[in-house]
């Protein structure tokens, strides 16, 4: 992104797309935010990022408006354009389930968004958060926001967290892909002869702070969701492993292994267990017992 000194967005009521776009921009460069209509000079000055206003999308000049896009264009908001320029849009679309509904809401409105989601219009209102409302009202209430102000600092935190999540998750998925194994439980073979699958992530040194982080996203990205029944990952509180049902799959009940000597915890609902076992052969045995 071209270096900039100021973030400019429109005055009046505020919306989630330009608010979040400004948050992301603050995370890349902590600059003041001005809320007014842009001039032609602003649009021609790459040092001024113009967000969600101005009817121009020109990343080289740091202009990120979507309102001039044709009606048949896929829903695209100011946040989408900023993320595209940062090379993070594809991952954001894949990892942030809230992004596409936010694009629809901003470009098509609540009724069209409800139809697209396949829910009643009233459901949209039930998803409203007072956190969103307060932040947007406070953002809209001033013509400028700068470093040191509580709202500006919160916005930078939001942007930092979002960028850290996106960049960290991509790195984490790469790590999982380099180490994970897919096991097939042959003793649970289905009618087509293929057994259910288990994702096994072995212990590594150093052990990640959250060993199970990113596993569900990895499963989705690799297209494993339909056949996967369980995930085995390092126990961050001990030397063994955690065993869990994937998406609460009914094929496994971990209460069946609660009496095993190397199992020190099995949830009463049967969806997760902890074991000191570390050998893959033993872990497979525990899975077979849990399958009944």
Alpha carbon dihedral 221, 222, 227, 229, in 10-degree steps, equals -70
Residue 113 pLDDT: 96
Alpha-carbon Rg for the chain, nearest whole angstrom, is 24
Tell me which H or E stretch contains 124. helix 121-126
Task: Let me know whether 131 and 152 are in one domain.
Answer: yes
The pair of structure tokens assigned to 45 is 């000055």
pLDDT of 92 > 90? The answer is: yes
What confidence score (pLDDT) does residue 187 get? 54
**What is the per-residue pLDDT across 203-237, written as a single tens digit (0 to 9) for each?**
998 888 888 999 999 999 999 998 899 999 999 88
Q: Are residues 80 and 60 in the same domain?
A: yes
Can you tell me which residue has the tokens 């600092």? Answer: 153
Q: Name the domain boundary from 140, 170, 200.
A: 170
Kindly state whether residue 175 falls inside one of the protein's structural domains.
no
On whether both 256 and 204 belong to a single domain, the answer is yes
Q: Is residue 265 part of a domain?
A: yes
Q: Which domain holds residue 217?
A: 180-291
| Beta-carbon count within 10 A of 194 CB | 12
Q: How far is residue 4's CA from residue 29's CA, in Å, rounded to a whole number?
A: 8
User: Could you read off the pLDDT of 2-13 as tens digits, one per residue?
Assistant: 999 999 999 999
Structure tokens at 91: 């991952």
Q: Domain for residue 216, yes or no? A: yes
Residue 190: the pLDDT is: 44
How sure is the predictor about 251, in pLDDT bands with cuts at 50, 70 and 90? Answer: confident
Yes or no: say if 99 and 93 are a contact pair by the CB < 8 Å rule: yes
* pLDDT confidence of residue 180: 95
pLDDT band at 142 (very low <50, low <70, confident <90, very high): very high
| 234 CB-near residues (< 8 Å, 6+ apart) | 201, 202, 203, 204, 207, 211, 241, 242
Residues 206 and 70 in one domain: no
Per the structure, the count of domains in the chain is 2
């Amino acid at each position: 992104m071209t270096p900039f000194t100021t973030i400019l967005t429109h005055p009046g009521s505020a919306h989630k797309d330009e608010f979040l776009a400004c948050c992301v921009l603050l995370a890349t460069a902590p600059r003041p935010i001005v809320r007014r209509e842009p001039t032609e000079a602003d649009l021609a000055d790459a040092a001024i990022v113009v967000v969600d206003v101005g009817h121009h999308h020109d990343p080289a000049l740091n202009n990120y408006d979507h309102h001039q896009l044709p009606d048949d264009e896929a829903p695209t908001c100011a946040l989408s354009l900023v993320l595209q320029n940062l090379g993070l849009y594809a991952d954001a679309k894949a990892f942030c389930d809230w992004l596409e509904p936010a694009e629809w809401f901003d470009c098509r409105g609540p009724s069209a968004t409800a139809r697209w989601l396949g829910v009643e219009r009233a459901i949209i209102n039930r998803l409203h958060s007072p956190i969103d409302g307060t932040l947007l009202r406070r953002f809209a209430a001033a013509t400028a926001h700068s470093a040191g102000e509580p709202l500006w600092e919160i916005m930078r935190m939001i942007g930092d967290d979002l960028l850290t999540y996106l960049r960290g998750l991509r790195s984490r998925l790469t790590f999982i892909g380099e180490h994970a194994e897919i096991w097939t439980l042959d003793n649970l073979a289905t009618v087509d002869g293929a057994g259910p699958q288990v994702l096994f992530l072995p212990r590594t040194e150093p052990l990640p702070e959250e060993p199970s982080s990113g596993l569900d996203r990895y499963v989705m990205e690799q297209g494993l969701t339909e056949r996967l029944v369980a995930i085995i990952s390092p126990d961050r509180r001990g030397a063994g492993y955690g065993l869990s049902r994937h998406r609460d799959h009914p094929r496994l009940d971990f209460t069946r292994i609660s009496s095993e000597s190397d199992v020190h915890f099995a949830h009463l609902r049967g969806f997760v267990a902890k074991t000191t076992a570390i050998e893959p052969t033993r872990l497979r045995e525990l899975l077979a017992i849990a399958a009944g």
